[in-house]
């Protein structure tokens, strides 16, 4: 998951770099929107990863022998 998070941050930076050199306002806004979306994805994955570490995993219940048999 770390690789995916890093990749999303890299994409966000790339879109921001493209936006900086864009002269057409609508295109620049679209590139910045893409950057924000990738940043949001990276942040959500980071939060999910942190939560997953803090939450104990529930083990499946062991099947118990049938007492009526």
Are 35 and 12 in contact by the 8 Å Cβ rule? The answer is yes
pLDDT value for 49: 87
Q: pLDDT tens digit string along 5-61?
A: 999 999 999 999 999 999 999 999 999 999 999 999 999 999 998 887 765 554 445
Res 68 pLDDT > 90: no
Task: Quote the tokens at residue 11.
Answer: 């994409």
Residue 37 included in any domain: yes
pLDDT value for 43: 96
Residue 66 included in any domain: no
For residues 67 and 46, which has the higher predicted lDDT (pLDDT)?
46
Query: pTM of the entire structure?
Result: 0.71
Residue 67 included in any domain: no
Residues spanned by the domain of 6: 2-53
How many structural domains compose the chain?
1
């Amino acid at each position: 998951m770390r690789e995916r998070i890093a990749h999303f941050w890299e994409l966000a930076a790339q879109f921001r770099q493209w936006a900086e050199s864009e002269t057409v306002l609508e295109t620049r806004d679209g590139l910045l929107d893409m950057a924000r979306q990738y940043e949001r994805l990276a942040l959500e994955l980071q939060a999910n990863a942190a939560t997953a570490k803090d939450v104990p995993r529930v083990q499946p219940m062991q099947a118990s022998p049938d007492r009526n048999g």
